[in-house]
Amino acid sequence: MSTMLLTGATSGLGRHVAFELVRAGHTVLVHGRDADRTRVLVEELRAEGDAEGYVADLASLTQVRELAAHVGDAHPELDVLINNAGLGAGPPGSGRELSADGHELRLAVNYLAPVALTGALLPVLRANAPARIVNVGSAGQEPLDFTDPELTRRYSGLSAYCRSKFALAAHTFTLAEELDGSGVAVNVLHPATHMDTAMVREAGFTPRHTVADGAPGLIALATRDLGTGRYFDGTRAARADEAAYDPEVRSRLAAVTGQLLRA
């Protein structure tokens, strides 16, 4: 059985998946932003199996790095990282928001946070190969404008969300190449379209699927060898936005990412 860190576990897809994984016998380290909700979740999970809770605001890169340090120190056996936490598009017409570090909020939480968390935990995952990294993306993808990566012009919450998920997919493919031969697999998936979550309802969409519909693909990537550097739509292998495979786009993204993480 594996030891897994699952971000964004206190609601929606993350909560459902946490219970499925614990019931299957895995040790699940659940992350939440709210201490009380995280504590209650851990109590419920421990009635089913082995779980532990960690609290961090992923809008703060300092807290992201502290989360990685705490998990790595407490669980050197960690062999699965599931980057599930994310922000949706927000209410229609809502304005641009900033993270604790001054970055556009959706790019910060949906992209910079998982990149930073993954990078900090890579030594632990490498040491426990075969290991897996699962990035929860979206079919909603929109290439970044590298002249304005933080969307300071003509802001749209939906565009911000789609750009962050494009970046996550492109980063996944780059990281998979960098980790080739290491025994650490990294994949990205779109769990299901418009699941019945607060994120979807807040954005004004009518839910089309349940979180249970989105769980099988995520659980499969976390528990089975399905290759690396791949994009899945649910349980089916699929294609991300074609620009996410472009080496020049990925090179420019890596350069911008490095600058944002150092800023």
pLDDT at 166: 98
pLDDT at 210: 85
pLDDT at 72: 98
Please indicate whether residue 116 or residue 93 has the higher confidence score (pLDDT).
116
Asked if residues 128 and 145 have their Cβ atoms less than 8 Å apart, the reply is: no
pLDDT at 179: 98
Phi, psi of 141 (to 5 degrees): -135, 140
Residue 156 DSSP SS3: coil
Alpha helix segments (H runs only) across the chain: 12-23, 35-46, 61-74, 105-107, 113-127, 157-178, 198-202, 211-223, 247-262
pLDDT at 205: 74
pLDDT tens column, 179-213 = 999 999 999 999 977 776 777 777 677 777 788 88
pLDDT at 7 over 90: yes
Is 111 noted as a catalytic residue in this protein? no
Mean pLDDT value across residues 80-91: 96
- In angstroms, rounded to a whole number, what is the distance separating the alpha carbons of residues 40 and 47? 11
Among 207, 107, 204, smallest CA distance to 152 is for 107
Among 119, 89, 95, 124, smallest CA distance to 107 is for 89
In DSSP notation, 180-239 reads: TTTTEEEEEEE--TTBSSHHHHHTTPPP-B-HHHHHHHHHHHHHS---SS-EEETTEEE-
- In angstroms, rounded to a whole number, what is the distance separating the alpha carbons of residues 188 and 170? 9
pLDDT at 121 over 90: yes
pLDDT at 133 over 80: yes
Mean pLDDT value across residues 167-185: 98
Q: What is the mean pLDDT of the chain?
A: 95
pLDDT at 90 over 80: yes
Among 90, 10, 100, smallest CA distance to 64 is for 100
pTM for the full predicted model? 0.96
Mean pLDDT value across residues 23-34: 98
Amino acid at 162: C
pLDDT at 196: 64
pLDDT at 50: 98
Question: Count of CB atoms within 10 A of residue 238's CB?
Answer: 12
Q: Which two tokens stand for residue 63?
A: 């807290």
Catalytic, out of 54, 111, 155, 161: 161
Residues 179/180/184/189 CA torsion (nearest 10 deg): 90
pLDDT tens column, 213-263 = 889 999 999 999 999 999 999 999 999 999 999 999 999 999 999 999 997
Pairing of strands 3-6, 27-32: parallel
Residues with Cβ within 8 Å of residue 247, at least 6 apart in sequence? none
- In angstroms, rounded to a whole number, what is the distance separating the alpha carbons of residues 233 and 218? 10
Residues found in the chain: 263
Over its C-alpha atoms, the chain yields an Rg (Å, rounded) of: 17
Lowest mean pLDDT among 36-40, 91-95, 105-109, 173-177: 91-95
pLDDT tens column, 37-65 = 999 999 999 999 999 999 999 999 999 99
